[in-house]
Amino acid sequence: MKIYNSYGDTVNAIKSKETTCYKIVQRYLKNISEKNPEINAFVEVFSEEALHKAREIDQKILDGNEGKLAGMVIGIKDNICIKNHRVTASSKILKGFKSLYNATVVERLIKEDAIIIGTLNCDEFAMGSASENSVYGAVRNPLDTSKVPGGSSGGSSSAVAAKMCLVALGSDTGGSIRQPAAFCGVVGLKPTYSRVSRNGLIAYASSFDQIGPLANNIEDTALVLEVIAGKDKNDSTSSSRKVDNYTFFKTKEKRKIAVLSDCLERDGLDNEIKKSIEQTIEKLKQEGHELDYVSFPYLDFLVPTYYVLTTAEASSNLARFDGVHYGYRTEHPKNLEETYINTRTEAFGEEVKRRIMLGTFVLSAGYKDAYYKKSQQVRRVVQDKTNEILKEFDFILSPTTPHTAFNIGQKQTDPTVMYLEDIFTVHANITGNPAISLPLYKHSNGMPFGLQLLSEKFSEGKLLSFSSELMKAHTVDGR
């Protein structure tokens, strides 16, 4: 049985009676059983449920009333709720907890006959850049299992790269879709903040979090976004703006692109990545696009601003995990205070504790103005500068990451080194703009890396159209 590289190929194979949804799910389940023990991407596999759903969709196809995602096999990050299934955010503190409802994105996928095959490992509460901070153990990069897949959506990127599902949903708070997409050689999209409902997403930092797809190509990315985007009455922050036809690509349009010179001149940027990006810039110029180097003097302030604000929000959001309402509870506490303290001490991982403490500190009476308020002011300055650039240019171009995937355990001892993994990706989360990582390159060390494009808010259609053009013109290994 064959695994298809795109949803278009899958649909064609089903229409020509070369295969069925049931056979496709069987093939994915076989792949998961063979590869997941080493890669550790899936934390729960819905074998019987997925096969039952596949049979139903095969009948729908025969009757001619199937949804637009019929036959698409999707994995869901373990911080997105699926009814009657465990959702733990890869944390001990939610051990044994089952969701009572579907996240809005899950409802929309099911309505269009997507087949959800399981939940995917991630950094605990989406806090990390390597998918090593998980109660289920580290996720491994399928292209080299000695290396990390990136994080926090490392299970999502690994599952797609290893062909254990066709598409996966992840969440992006500071690059958690785009960085693992770059490390695993897949497409990763962070939509505009509010474009996709966060109802049913376990919150890390509510003004930064955004759900988005990881896929092998732009067409599948666009199709899934079209399904999951849009206003949701259960999320008051979701935008009521009309959802565009993202799968209609307007190509061959000449674009103005700003290249962030500060990113390319950044100390620590791999020289081979820099050269590859510069070659792409020259190629785009030759194709008639206008590219200019633009200064972005706030690059060094992005990561500190991001971590002050997100940890502040996390310290508030994670207060609900106390051993009383749901999930893990410490054994034999003497009183309520001991229940809170012992439960959180025993069940939260080191990185989560670190961020809660940092967030509590920056919100404390003596430091709120010096840290939290100042970071909000910096956030506004960054937003204004970004808007100023995007008034003149269609896109902002940069590397997705400063290097390729690193070895498992290599950066665990120094949190600040790990935090700098987000240097190029946090920009889009601070401002709320959409951004995408495109797997255009392969390093001489054999690992992939990505090009990042950022555009105006709610301009995903334009972003996906240009990305489609780029993917066709700038390929790696014939992809």
Active-site residues, by number, are 77, 152, 176
Longest alpha-carbon distance in the chain: 72
392-395: list long-range contacts, CB under 8 Å, 24+ apart: 392/256, 392/258, 393/256, 393/257, 393/258, 393/292, 393/294, 394/255, 394/256, 394/257, 394/455, 394/462, 394/466, 395/255, 395/256, 395/257, 395/258, 395/453, 395/454, 395/455, 395/463, 395/466
CA–CA dist 263, 296 (Å, integer): 8
Instruction: Answer yes or no: are the C-beta atoms of 228 and 105 closer than 8 Å.
Output: yes
Residue whose entry in the numeric block shows the structure tokens 């109802």: 199
Rounded CA separation 247/140 (Å) = 32
In sequence order, the β-bridge partners of residue 453 are 397, 436
**Which residue, among 110, 107, 104, has the nearest Cα to 234 in the 3D structure?**
104
